[in-house]
Structure 1
Amino acid sequence: MSIADIRKEYSRASLSEEDVAADPVEQFSKWFAEAVAAQVPEPNAMTVATVNAEGRPSSRILLIKEFDQRGFTFFTNYESRKGQELQANPHAALLFFWSELERQVRIEGRVEQITAAENDAYFNSRPLNSRLGALASDQSRPAGSRGELEARFARVAAQFGEQPPRPAHWGGYRLVPDYIEFWQGRPSRFHDRIAYSRHPDGGWRRQRLQP
């Protein structure tokens, strides 16, 4: 089969202006809960796209760890490639794709670092080996071999034991959205798209987009 012939017909649901909440974060919360209830694998997985100072984009999969009216929060190494790009250009885009529900959500906005207290609280809630890994890894830097990485992990584990401290270069970002779009797959690629754009006064404008 040719790649061009691979396609899926979407027919599970529809999306109308009457279906969605006036507030896009409330609508996201509703769809996220439905993805969890449908047992979508890793419903909290999202693509995070950043752009460097030269305008070159990059993307990767991360996990959302919190969302509320303040924004959408994820954690990483501030000195990683994404961290360096966000320092140069503090704007990003998130994409959730829940194929089982034939839905996607696009979120765009400005990104800011969260507080040290918030970072400490989340870091200390992580599994021990995840905390040790954050200390052992210079994320995005070249590595000689897997063996070198595992040896470094072992040294960090021996040094810090059960109480590894949060490294200063590890923490969270909060994306403060100014655009959120909800996409529901429909037959014949005639999809439903409802987009929210934030007004300068903080309110939201909602409109349907053509598929």
Structure 2
Amino acid sequence: MNLSDKTVLLTGGTNGIGREIALQLRAKGAQAVLTGRNPDRVAAMRAEGFEVIEADLSNAAGVDALLAAWGERAIDVLLNNAGQLVDHDFRKGVPDADAADAAIYANLNAPIRLITGLVEALKSRPEAAIVNVTSGLAISPAARTPVYCATKSGLRFYTLALREQLKGTGVKVIEALPPVVDTQMNDGNPMKKMPADECARQIIAAIEQGRDEANIGMTKALRIAESISPALARSVTLRF
């Protein structure tokens, strides 16, 4: 897909990987419309010339408000990037169940609801794409982040099934699986982190090349390990 003049709805576009994707999309001539919920970050991206729709995607009302704000506008790419990492480690104490619910909604329910609301508009375009950003942890989980891993794994399997359903339409369904990336979400994570701009570059390359799946950075090695021995892959990631 040539991204020049394409309209992209990018969730979570005011920080981290999303911010870098937004900047790189603009450099390629795309019109990126972002979502964000932090007022300071929303204001900062607006100051850089982006259209930003304020949206809290951790609940149905927030997603529905985003869809209402979008209305009948044309859309070429839906890029589901927004995600929440929630502390859910029983070794530290009893986790916050409400926080887990919000993360489950943001990471899994919101992309499904957005796809449901926008798929007909996407199908009406000459070419279009749905891009779901999951994680290397969708393949093999880390012990300290079970909610995040479960939601990203759920989105991975949803993406695989959706791709089969949309065969024969003009909508390409792409999954991007980043490794640990140097963003605020991963502050305190001791693992080696990929720069956010490089992760964004590889996601955009997958869209341009029409690839089904983008295994980014160390996720490539994890995919190889998982194909040889799922138990081996789990023995590595569960330590983190």
Asked which structure has the greater RCO (Cα within 8 Å, sep 6+), the reply is 1
Q: TM-score, normalised by structure 2?
A: 0.23
TM-score normalised over the length of structure 1 = 0.25
State the structure with more CA Rg.
1
More strand by share: 1
